[in-house]
A and B are shown apart, each in its own frame.
Chain A
Amino acid sequence: MPLRVGEKDFQTRVNKGLDDAFMRGTVRSAQEQLRTRKQASSEELGDWEAWRSLGEEIRTHTLEHLDYYLEQLSDKVAERGGHVYFAKTAEEGNAYVRKVAREQEAKKIVKSKSMVTEEMSLNDALEEDGLEVVETDLGEYILQVDDHDPPSHIVAPSLHKNRAQIKDVFAEKKDYEDSDNANDITRFVRGELREEFLDADIGITGCNFAVAESGSISLVTNEGNADLVTALPKTQISVMSMERIVPTWEELDVMVSLLCRSAVGQKLTSYITTLTGPKGEEEIDGPEDFHLVIVDNGRSDILGTQFQSALHCIRCAACVNVCPVYRHVGGHAYGSIYNGPIGAVLTPLLDGYENNKDLPYASSLCAACTEACPVKIPLHEQLIAHRQIITEKEKLGSMPEKWAMKMFGTGVSAPKLYRLASKQAHRVMSPWTKGSRISNGPGPLKAWTNFRDLPAPASERFRDWFANRRRSEFDE
């Protein structure tokens, strides 16, 4: 599955999402559940803001010295007998994995969920060579069995499907005969997947964080599938996107703690596995042969730009879970494996503006994403920066604004638009400002500026202005 998924046309995808009442229901309750859990568990941590600052500081430092830490990482992996391959592109990475599979005369591959291999379309590449590739994460497995239905959420990929639909998928494709009870379905999948694990020649995983000082990679899951993927097959290949690295084990603690709390509201997930090289000579289980593929695939082009901090992302989906736009349209509307606010920031960076010029408009600019992000990526500011580039440089501006108006007609209330307008710094709004008025606002603002000029938020926060104005209206 490539970076871009689903219908080509953004409007079609959005309409589909808006029409899907079930999906909206699930998405809404999932958002609420994940958000509440996150809130509860981050409160227990004491000073959550201090944790976020630490997360941001660690990510900033690491990215600024990425070449050094990747060099250290690769040396350490090699010292422990692992092989490291640096892949500039998806094609290079895929070619390397295919070569390893050929050398091992592999037939079956088990995988644990990995965004970067999705981005590379690694499964397709391997299937072209006649290999059988099995996704073992429950949500990913469901999607795979359902003819590769695309995922709709970063941490809950099959969120858009209900129990009955899932049951039908297994009944049709795997002769499943039991009920649509989640426990029954799980039992069935457990049995199916056990066979696959015991049979597989190669295990492929992603990498949540690599630890430079020891050449270790870590995998964070609740199901324990990554553990089986790495312990049973003789050959293991871990594919990491180049920015997923921390200097030492001490930072691994911080990043994993932030990830677990932000992603699923847990202190730690059930399984956190850290692997250093292949198994020792005396060891029975674990891979004999370990490969680490480090992938660039467009990421280095983000370094040194105003978007560099987008690479700080740890894929926790906290921004997705607070996003009102995601709530309305669902994950598929983004047309990218990276959805929600971070998807809207990242996809145009990795895949260019041409095919993704609508995405930066898939935001109400309410800044909830920025406030939720555990590593303090200024997501809504980056979305505005994208819009500026699109309107100023790319001249692609008119269509997405129409889209934004239409969508916002359906959900986000007017006071919310006022509030978001007020949150933007003057700098950001300047392209649309004439004197002290905004007469041609971007995206959703345009709906307002069409029939009235907004005062520019330079001198007074709009919310305050609005509150004052209301008060004076009532006073009159």
Chain B
Amino acid sequence: MSRGTIQGREDFLNRIAEKIGRPRSEHVERPEWQVQPQWDVFAGENTEQLMERFKAQCDKIHTNVIETDVNGFREAVAETIGAYQADSVIMWDDVRLERAGLDDGFRSQMSALGVETKVWDTSKGEENIRLAERAGVGITYSDITLAESGTVVLLNSPEKGRLVNLLPENYIAVIPRSSLVPRMTQATRRVHERVQNGEEISSQIHFVSGPSNSADIEMSLVVGVHGPVRATYIILGDE
């Protein structure tokens, strides 16, 4: 990747230093913060307890939750698609989804039911965007799941398109139980550690909590202003 340009920096930063009343900062160590209450939230709770919190929160953010294991997984997904009365689906090209059961066999089953299921396909370029725009359901896999806020964290990549969870009218997130952490604190630490180790991070990291909503009209809640109108989380028990 070629390096981008930087313009107007020196004058701008010199002025800041001058106004603060010291020379330019050469090196700054981030201090150890005096209080760190973020680590106390749900500290020491086990997955079971966190899961209870997660489900309670999903209720508040108008998100449907289904719990299942590997055996019931396909059916749970098919039923959700059915409930949304969708006739087309787009999902990430993610081996974890495939391994869980959303494979070729699933796709032909769905097609027999009149539901066209497409996988985000980098070789098809822009066509993916049109497919996502038309799809009734988008399916992604949660990389990290936050109990406190009912959030799925999506680390996007070429195979894991940004628009899959945004453009279709309904959204399904597949959530492995093992991805559950207390809150955003644990997720951002993971990203921070990657940065510190010099690893590249995803060009988009998306924290998604339920369907798109707004309270701009007389402060009353409406859903689906831009993104999905409905959302379902399918929690997948570990084998």
Give Cα A157–Cα B216 distance, bound, in whole angstroms. Answer: 8
Interface centre among A136, A231, A269, A281 (most CB of B within 10 A): A231
Chain A residues numbered 146-191 whose CB sits less than 8 Å from any CB in chain B? 156-159, 162-163, 166, 182-183, 185-187, 189-190
Chain B residues numbered 23-40 whose CB sits less than 8 Å from any CB in chain A? 24-28, 30-31, 33-38, 40
Asked whether B226 lies within 8 Å of A270 as measured between CB atoms, the reply is: no
A57: interface (CB < 8 Å): yes
B9: interface (CB < 8 Å): yes
**What residue in chain A is nearest B34 (Cβ atoms)?**
A57
Question: How close is A285's CB to chain B, nearest CB, in angstroms?
Answer: 5
Asked whether A264 lies within 8 Å of B215 as measured between CB atoms, the reply is: yes
> Using an 8 Å CB-CB cutoff, how does the interface string of B72-88 with A read, 1 for contact, 0 for none?
00000000000000000
> Using an 8 Å CB-CB cutoff, how does the interface string of A287-321 with B read, 1 for contact, 0 for none?
00010001010001101100000000000000000
Name the B residues within 8 Å of A271 (CB-CB). 206-209, 212, 227
Name the A residues within 8 Å of B5 (CB-CB). 78, 83-84
Chain A residues numbered 352-371 whose CB sits less than 8 Å from any CB in chain B? none
Give Cα A96–Cα B33 distance, bound, in whole angstroms. Answer: 38
Asked whether A50 lies within 8 Å of B37 as measured between CB atoms, the reply is: yes
Q: Name the segment of B95-103, B107-115, B185-193 touching the other chain.
A: B185-193
Question: How close is A243's CB to chain B, nearest CB, in angstroms?
Answer: 10
Asked whether A268 lies within 8 Å of B162 as measured between CB atoms, the reply is: no
B44: interface (CB < 8 Å): no
Asked whether A78 lies within 8 Å of B3 as measured between CB atoms, the reply is: yes
Asked whether B9 lies within 8 Å of A86 as measured between CB atoms, the reply is: yes
The listed residue (A81, A86, A214, A253) touching B38 by CB distance below 8 A is A253
A435: interface (CB < 8 Å): no
Interface residues on B, range: 35 or more
Name the A residues within 8 Å of B227 (CB-CB). 223-224, 227-228, 270-271
The listed residue (B128, B133, B203, B216) touching A275 by CB distance below 8 A is B203
Chain A residues numbered 229-252 whose CB sits less than 8 Å from any CB in chain B? 230-232, 242, 247-250, 252
Give Cα A33–Cα B203 distance, bound, in whole angstroms. Answer: 36
Give Cα A283–Cα B200 distance, bound, in whole angstroms. Answer: 15
Asked whether B216 lies within 8 Å of A286 as measured between CB atoms, the reply is: no
Question: How close is A303's CB to chain B, nearest CB, in angstroms?
Answer: 4
Asked whether B37 lies within 8 Å of A284 as measured between CB atoms, the reply is: no
A47: interface (CB < 8 Å): yes
The listed residue (A46, A69, A158) touching B40 by CB distance below 8 A is A46
Name the A residues within 8 Å of B150 (CB-CB). 267
Name the A residues within 8 Å of B216 (CB-CB). 137-139, 142, 156-158
Asked whether A51 lies within 8 Å of B37 as measured between CB atoms, the reply is: yes
B205: interface (CB < 8 Å): yes
Name the A residues within 8 Å of B210 (CB-CB). 270
A429: interface (CB < 8 Å): no
Asked whether B35 lies within 8 Å of A78 as measured between CB atoms, the reply is: no
Name the A residues within 8 Å of B70 (CB-CB). none
B46: interface (CB < 8 Å): no
> Using an 8 Å CB-CB cutoff, how does the interface string of B214-231 with A read, 1 for contact, 0 for none?
111111101111110000
**What residue in chain A is nearest B148 (Cβ atoms)?**
A267
A144: interface (CB < 8 Å): no
Question: How close is A281's CB to chain B, nearest CB, in angstroms?
Answer: 7
Asked whether A223 lies within 8 Å of B225 as measured between CB atoms, the reply is: yes
The listed residue (A84, A252, A276, A283) touching B188 by CB distance below 8 A is A252
Give Cα A285–Cα B208 distance, bound, in whole angstroms. Answer: 17
A125: interface (CB < 8 Å): no
**What residue in chain B is nearest A305 (Cβ atoms)?**
B19
Asked whether B195 lies within 8 Å of A304 as measured between CB atoms, the reply is: no
Asked whether A67 lies within 8 Å of B149 as measured between CB atoms, the reply is: no
Asked whether B133 lies within 8 Å of A198 as measured between CB atoms, the reply is: yes
A66: interface (CB < 8 Å): yes
Name the A residues within 8 Å of B31 (CB-CB). 57, 61
Name the A residues within 8 Å of B34 (CB-CB). 53-54, 57
Asked whether B2 lies within 8 Å of A81 as measured between CB atoms, the reply is: yes
Give Cα A86–Cα B13 distance, bound, in whole angstroms. Answer: 9
A38: interface (CB < 8 Å): no
Give Cα A79–Cα B204 distance, bound, in whole angstroms. Answer: 16
> Using an 8 Å CB-CB cutoff, how does the interface string of A41-68 with B read, 1 for contact, 0 for none?
0000111001101100110010011111
Question: How close is A66's CB to chain B, nearest CB, in angstroms?
Answer: 5
Asked whether A249 lies within 8 Å of B188 as measured between CB atoms, the reply is: yes
Asked whether A186 lies within 8 Å of B19 as measured between CB atoms, the reply is: no
Asked whether A280 lies within 8 Å of B214 as measured between CB atoms, the reply is: no
Name the A residues within 8 Å of B28 (CB-CB). 65, 68-69
Asked whether A84 lies within 8 Å of B1 as measured between CB atoms, the reply is: no
Question: How close is A386's CB to chain B, nearest CB, in angstroms?
Answer: 19
Name the A residues within 8 Å of B212 (CB-CB). 222-224, 270-271
Name the B residues within 8 Å of A190 (CB-CB). 224-226
Asked whether A250 lies within 8 Å of B203 as measured between CB atoms, the reply is: no
**Chain A contact residues, CB within 8 Å of chain B:** 26, 29-30, 33-34, 45-47, 50-51, 53-54, 57-58, 61, 64-71, 74-75, 77-88, 92, 96, 136-139, 142, 156-159, 162-163, 166, 182-183, 185-187, 189-190, 193-194, 197-198, 213-214, 216, 222-225, 227-228, 230-232, 242, 247-250, 252-254, 256-257, 264, 266-286, 290, 294, 296, 300-301, 303-304
6 new A-B pairs (CB below 8 Å) besides A81-B1, A286-B162? A46-B37, A78-B3, A79-B4, A137-B216, A138-B214, A275-B204
- Sampled A-B contacts (7; CB under 8 Å): A54-B35, A85-B7, A86-B9, A214-B191, A249-B189, A253-B38, A284-B122
**Chain B contact residues, CB within 8 Å of chain A:** 1-9, 11-17, 19-21, 24-28, 30-31, 33-38, 40-41, 57, 61, 120, 122, 125-126, 128-129, 133, 146, 148-151, 156-158, 161-163, 166, 183-185, 187-189, 191-192, 195-196, 201-220, 222-227
